[in-house]
Structure 1
Amino acid sequence: MTENAKDVKTEEAAKPEVNPLQRSLTLKVNNAELEAGVAAELKRLGKKAKLPGFRPGHVPAAKVAEMYGYEARMRVMNNLLDAAYRKAAEESGLRIAGFPEIAPAEGSKPGDAELVFTAKVEVYPEFDLPDLSGLELKRYSCDVTDAEVAKTLDIMAKQRATYTTEEGRAAQKDDRVTVNFKGMKDGVAFEGGSADNYKFIVGAGMMLPEFDQAVEGMKAGDKKSFNLTFPANYQAKDLAGKEVTFDVECVAVEKANIPAIDDEFAKKLGMDGVDAMKAEVRKNLEREVKVRVSNRTRGEVMNKLQELCTFRVPSVMIQEESERMAQAMMNDFMARGMLSKKDRNRQLPASLFTEQAAKRVALSMFVGKLIDENKITASEDDVKRIVKNVAEAYEEPAEMEKYILSNPQTAQNYHNLALEERVVDFVLGKAKTTDEKLGFDDLMKNPGSL
């Protein structure tokens, strides 16, 4: 490569990226109008001006100008620029996103009869909706059988178990054990891998399966060491897929006394009998399954639509969404009590959310255009159906339904959800779909952790 070619490459790399969504508007402010406005503003401020040695409102004009001149000029200038921008934006016919960046135009200087400014703005992208018939999607379903009802009742009974200490008892499934343990990786204790007097239920998924298996059969006073390999997708990245050694001492073993699933058990839960309890459990499971199936389907549809968002979106909107997401996460941390008092006024860097924010903004634009061009709507009955399904999980469904629908903001949120459902239905109707029945456990499972 020649030196000239190198220079060209370096020059090209140094050029700033051209934003295809950026536009410029020319704003003009009449200097005479500005000066007249400043004079009027100073006169207004002078009526309230106070200065030692002068009565309120009788401060000399020169002193008022000295005290408030900059403030008055900035206020009037901002008002005139705002009016000029609104006029230029309207005349341009552009679909402007966010707020402008306004600066004096090159060559314009104070004292000119007409002051010229340049407003840099970003516009909404122009894009065509693609043909959705090529998308491949699934329509999910999941059955709630007697087995799922029985398994849920078994969990409910175990949650209400009592425990008694039995001398010399060997730990088995459903027993509550108390252990001291220490985890070592390459001979060094790792963070979060040690605890004293730690209680857990054997086989309840509170620990990794290998840990459960190692503790089964131990009696109070027993000690043992065993190796364990963490799953490849373990949340602690430094432990994922790694083999460690645990030293465990069993402190106590308590036998589980699990109540029988009968009428007496049902009545303790406020139900008429075991049959009524089974019916209520089935109803709740069916409602939960319906929500999860819907969420899974919606998530896959939206992911497919996201892949079609190949257009650029305004950086100003990405920034706004990033800041909103950062604030939402801080609010969530506060609600969970995860922040100390000194950290509550801190802000997460919006840059942490830039990539996700860009995807959200693009998908929102895509879905918005899909709704507009295809006249997709959600009816009042759609909203009521969703609200009714949510309200059924409460003790007073009718009251909860009434409360949700009477709150404008909450009702709007459910309208948006209903509209999103209609979008999903529309996309599924256009795409190539296959039916897939999900297993109950696959739909409901939550990964356990150590």
Structure 2
Amino acid sequence: MQVTETLSEGLKRELSITVPAADLAGRLDKRLAELKDTVRINGFRPGKVPTAHLKRLVGPQEMAKIVDTVIGESIRVALETRDERPALNPDIDLAEGVAAEKVVAGEADLVFTASYELLPTFEIQDWTGVELERPVVEVGEDEVDARVAQIAESNRPFVDKTEGAAATGDRVKIDFVGSIDGVPFENGSAEDADLVLGSSTFIPGFEDQLIGVSVGDEVTVTVTFPADYGAAHLAGKEAAFAVKVKAISAPGELVVDDEWATKLGLESLARLREVVKEQIGSQYAAATRTKIKRALLDKLDEQYRFDLPSKLVDGEFDNIWNQAQQEMTGAGKTFADEGTTEEAARADYRKIAERRVRLGLVLSEIGEKREVKITDEEVSRALIERARQFPGQEKQVFDYYRSNDMALATLRAPIFEEKVVDLILAEAKVTDKPVTKDELLADPDEA
């Protein structure tokens, strides 16, 4: 095998690799010798098929397989010899003037080029001196009170209202069919739907028009969908709902005590409050984690500057851009609605893609240097969580990931990243900073 470097520009490399036809022919002869003792061909006893005849029958197919194998092996050996790590699998092109048919026929050397980009090399910066503030919020009793009140309200008993019209706070059971310009629209109808008047559950204005109705009434409710409504085909449009009132219930007495808590599956009201406090604390902890991780990544982004493999950046940009376009299409918005242009948006998303690739390489290098490992148990837990997102299709999800290494890598990557982040945070200078709930939950990008 002969390897010649034909391009060395930044991270880009191109190798011309030649494998002599004699080497390919030798491999084919060895393969045919193996097949001769096992292949069954009409008119010949096992092991007695003439090699020349066998070569005419299966030679081209076997040589094609050999060529694929040799290309992969040649690239691997070349990269190991050069001590290089490609960012992605090399692109392969047969040399011009070399007919693939002749190579397969054993009449020409295998000559091809392998084009790839190297993973950049850079020095890991010391992070032990990085100063970070961890925003923390203490869960107050007033928050626990409010959450318990919400739970209680959502579990309030209702009693049938035999007399009088529906009032704010009453629950009505209704059938409805929504239409726009006389044409029913998708997901705009339901039967036996329960609606508490005044809960602001439905489109603004819908519940107000049901105050005063009685059982058996059939009314038309006319509302206008908000301009920012999630379904773009409905946003800003006026709709008419044909509503039939089937039952009205009045809110019953609600007593928040131990007996009520036991109905929710807990032994006491005190235990319910503990559970609620833990839940709120977990939500705050998740927000804290997001904030300090963002701050850490910002610090790392400031520390590192190196050339990036363009194909990695292109791939990340395409993912971001496609997602952004899907979200805009779903919301029925344009770049102008967002106060920008497509060109400016592309430039911004390109920077985000570059940041993600850069930080991904940095975290990967740190994890490799510090020998961060992912256990099979951790991957299994991630796979179980993934499968839970597809009720009824769990087996298909398990089969897909277990038979697809690339898919399984998408589960391993975030686990690896979080473990590296934990490693850095454990050694950096992190101080807790008490903040308010609003400060913790504020979106840093809103400004």
Indicate the SS of the match to 2:215: coil
Q: Structure 1 residues 108-117 or 38-47, which shifts more?
A: 108-117
Q: How many angstroms does 1:236 deviate by?
A: 0.7
Does the aligned pair in 2 maintain the 1:182–1:246 contact within 8 Å?
yes
Matched-pair contact (CA < 8 Å) for 1:139–1:297: yes
| Distance in 2 (alpha carbons) for counterparts of 1:61 and 1:186 | 78
Q: Counterpart in 2 of 1:366?
A: 359
Distance 1:252 1:69 in 2: 80
Residue identity in the other structure for 2:290: N
Q: Tell me the CA shift for residue 126 of structure 1.
A: 6.8
1:313 deviation in Å? Answer: 4.3
User: Is the Cα contact below 8 Å between 2:225 and 2:234 reproduced in 1?
Assistant: yes
Rounded to whole Å, the distance in 1 between the matches of 2:421 and 2:429 is: 12
Match of 1:417?
418
What is the CA–CA distance in structure 1 between the aligned matches of 2:145 and 2:412, rounded to whole Å? 36
Give the secondary structure class of the aligned counterpart of 1:211.
Answer: coil
- Greater Cα offset, 24-33 or 253-262: 253-262
Match of 1:66 among 56, 60, 78: 56
Among 200, 203, 212, which residue is 1:208 paired with?
Answer: 203
Seen in structure 2, the aligned counterparts of structure 1 residues 191 and 36 have a Cα distance that, compared at 3 Å, is closer
1:315 aligns with 2:315: no
Relative to structure 1, the CA distance from residue 413 to residue 44 in structure 2 (aligned partners, 3 Å threshold; closer, same or farther) is: same
Query: Contact 2:219 / 2:243 at 8 angstroms: preserved in 1?
Result: yes
Greater Cα shift, 90-99 or 357-366: 357-366
Q: Deviations over 1:177-233 (max 9, x none)?
A: 112334444555433333344222334453234323333343323455454332332
Is 1:235 equivalent to 2:204 in the alignment? no
Q: How far is 1:104 from its partner?
A: 2.5
Determine the C-alpha separation between the residues in 2 that align with 1:438 and 1:156. Answer: 20
- State the number of aligned residues: 366
* Aligned counterpart, 2:44: 54
Deviation of 1:425 after TM superposition, in Å, equals 8.7
Q: 1:147 aligns with which of 142, 146, 149?
A: 142
Q: What are the ranges of 5 or more consecutive residues in structure 1 without an aligned counterpart?
A: 1-18, 327-354, 388-408, 444-450
Distance 2:352 2:251 in 1: 50
For 2:72 and 2:352, locate their aligned partners in 1 and report how far apart those are by CA, in whole Å: 32
Whether the 8 Å contact between 2:135 and 2:440 is mirrored in structure 1 is no
Quote the Cα distance in structure 2 between the aligned partners of 1:47 and 1:357.
Answer: 58
AA matched with 2:437: L
TM-score (normalised: structure 2): 0.63
1:249-287 deviations in whole A, cap 9, x for unaligned? 433211233541112123334544333332332233222
3-state SS of 2:206 partner: helix
How far has the Cα of 1:244 moved from its partner? Answer: 3.6
Task: Specify the SS of the correspondent of 2:88.
Answer: strand
Partner of 2:115: 120
> Which 10-residue stretch deviates more, 145-154 or 209-218?
209-218
| Partner Cα distance (2:413, 2:92) in 1 | 36
User: 2:251 is matched with which residue?
Assistant: 256
Which stretch shows the higher mean deviation, 92-101 or 304-313?
Answer: 304-313
Partners of 2:313 and 2:357 within 8 A in 1: no
2:32 maps to 1:42 = yes
Residue among 87, 101, 105 paired with 2:95:
105
**1:313–1:362 CA contact under 8 A, matched in 2:** no
The amino acid of 2:362's aligned partner reads K
How far did residue 426 of structure 1 move?
8.9
1:23 maps to 2:13 = yes
Q: Tell me the percent identity.
A: 25
Counterpart secondary structure, 2:18: strand
Is the CA contact (8 Å cut-off) linking 2:172 and 2:194 kept in structure 1?
A: yes
Quote the residue 1:179 is aligned against.
174
Q: Are the aligned partners of 2:224 and 2:237 in contact in 1 as well (CA < 8 Å)?
A: yes
Deviation at residue 27 of structure 1 after TM alignment? 0.9
Comparing 307-316 and 175-184, the one that deviates more: 307-316
Indicate conservation of the 8 Å contact 1:176/1:199, yes or no. yes
Cα distance in structure 2, aligned partners of 1:101 and 1:20: 17
- Provide closer, same or farther for how the CA distance between residues 24 and 229 of structure 1 changes in structure 2, counting only shifts above 3 A: same
C-alpha spacing 1:373/1:63, structure 2 compared with 1 (3 Å)? closer
**Which residue, out of 44, 48, 66, partners 1:76?**
66
Aligned to 1:337: none
- Give per-residue Cα distances to partners, 1:367-400, cap 9 Å, x unaligned: 43157479889899xxx9xx9xxxxxxxxxxxxx
Structure-2 change in CA distance of 1:37 and 1:187 (3 Å): closer
Q: State how far apart, in whole Å, the 2-side matches of 1:286 and 1:146 are.
A: 12
Residue 413 of structure 1 deviates from its aligned partner by 6.4
Q: Which one-letter code corresponds to 2:13 in the other structure?
A: R
Amino acid at match of 1:208: I
Residues 148 and 440 in structure 1, CA contact (< 8 A), matched pair in contact too:
no
Counterpart position of 2:163: 168
SS of the residue 1:285 aligns to: helix
Deviation (angstroms), 1:56: 0.7
Q: Is 1:96 matched up with 2:86?
A: yes
Q: Secondary structure in 1 aligned to 2:92?
A: strand
Native 8 Å contact 1:157 1:258 kept in 2:
no
243 and 72 in structure 1: CA distance in 2 versus 1, 3 angstrom threshold = closer
Q: Is the 2:297–2:359 contact (alpha carbons within 8 Å) kept by the matching residues of 1?
A: no
Q: 2: distance between equivalents of 1:56 and 1:183?
A: 75
Residue 284 of structure 1, aligned match among 275, 279, 283: 279
* C-alpha distance 292-230 of structure 1, shift in aligned 2 (>3 A): farther
Moved more, 232-241 or 312-321: 312-321
Ranges in structure 2 where 5+ consecutive residues have no aligned partner? 1-8, 323-347, 382-408, 443-447
AA in 2 matched with 1:417: E
* CA distance in structure 1 between the aligned counterparts of 2:257 and 2:267, rounded to whole angstroms: 11
CA shift at 1:64, angstroms? Answer: 1.0
State the TM-score, normalized to the length of structure 1. Answer: 0.63
Aligned equivalent of 1:4:
none
Taking only aligned residues, the RMSD between alpha carbons, in angstroms, comes to 5.0
